[in-house]
Structure formats: C-alpha cells, structure tokens
Amino acid sequence: MGPVERLGLIGDVHAEDELLATALAFLRGQDLEVIACTGDLADGPGSVGRCRRLLQDHGVLTVAGNHDRWLLANRMRQLPDATPRGRLDGETRRYLNALPRTVELPTRHGTALLCHGLGEDDMAAVGPDDYGYAIEQNWELQELLGDRRYRFVLNGHTHHRMVRHFDDLTIINGGTLKRDHEPGFVIVDFGSGEVDLFDIDPDGRVTYALRTALTGGPSLPGR
C-alpha cells in the first residue's frame, strides 16, 4: 500500500448497526482511500452480526477491542447491553477471532498505528483531561513516545474524539458510535494536514462539527 492521503476513522461500534450504516454511507462518498475502525463491535443494543457484515462489505480495516476479546472469552457478560456469546453466528465469531490488535499504515508524514487502546494494550488510553502525572505514568504512551516508530496513533476506547500532540506523536481518537456517548467519526486528511470531526445526531443525520490541525498547533480536547 502506498502512503494514505485521506482516511475515515470510526471509533468503538458497540453493536450500533444503524449508526454504523449511516457513518459508512457518508464516508463512502468522501473520496477516501481507507476507512478504519477501532473495534469493540460487541456489547450494545443492535446486531454484532450486521456490524460485521457492514464492515466487511465496505472493506473497513478493523482491529479488535477489549469488548470483542471479552465476548469471545465469555467474560464480563454482566455488563449492560452485553452481547450473549450464544447469539454469535459462526462467521461473526471467526471474523472477531481473526481481527488483529494493531495495523500499520504508511502516510506522507510517517507511519500511523491503528489500534484500540495504545499499541497492543487494548485497555490503555489517553484521555482529553490527562496531564502531568497521568501522562508521565502512562507507560504505554511513554513507550510509544520513546520508540519513535510511529508518527500517528489512530485509536478509540475512551469514546472521546480527540486530537492530541505529544512531541512527534499525534493521537487521533475516533470516538464511538454509542448513541448516548455523543456518536460521531473523524476524517483525517494527511495531504492537507487537517482533521474533520463529524457528529451523528439523534435522528441519524451526519453533521459537521469542527476542524483541527493534524500536526502542530493546539491539541483538540475530546468530544
């Protein structure tokens, strides 16, 4: 794959199949080379199977989230809206089992890492309000900063869309489609150096939210 110029980033899905269909229909018309998803298909009000089919049909590059891991292991099923493992069809189970934890993508500004949390750790995170000690003691983040292998991290887990700059590393969080957590998604333009955030309103309409710089400039707090 050559360097990615424009990428659509969908955060945690949580079985919101209707909102996933809305997001994909919008992104399909945006001249994107890649649509990526940070996982967590499981544990929500809709159909995990339909979410899987939508992601496959649209060729979405998807990584596994912690909720997918828990579902396959039949753990944490006491959570609200937990997906019963017995309702998974065989194809969806195989799809979830085959999801990678991370994927590397080349861009014109350096390598981007698609993951759920931070790197291989699907429970690690950086929030919009993490500063000082919380950043210094975030070992997964510090490892990524010290390694200098990646220019961008494309992640989810926190459910907060966010762009934060840490020295030479920029973290772009795709947020979530969970309808009670300000659902939306992100378009990253590596060519123009801009990140656009989009909301999905309660009626399922996509609305433009705001734009921020991909590199340099102030960090954009979570939404």
Q: How far apart are CA 29 and CA 57, in angstroms?
A: 15
Share of the chain above pLDDT 70, in %: 97
| DSSP per-residue string spanning 19-76 | HHHHHHHHHTTS--SEEEE----SSSSS-HHHHHHHHHHTT-EE---HHHHHHHTT-S
Assign 223 a pLDDT band (cuts: 50, 70, 90). low
pLDDT value for 76: 95
pLDDT tens-digit map of 39-81: 999 999 999 999 999 999 999 999 999 999 999 999 999 999 9
Sign of the dihedral through C-alpha 152, 168, 191, 199: positive
Weakest mean pLDDT among 93-102, 106-115, 209-218? 209-218
Residues of the chain with pLDDT > 90: what percent? 91
Tell me how crowded residue 106 is: count the other CB atoms within 10 A of its CB: 13
Looking at residue 222, what is its pLDDT?
Answer: 57
pLDDT tens digits for range 196-222: 999 999 888 999 999 999 987 666 665
Domains of the chain listed by start with CATH number: 6-213 (3.60.21.10)
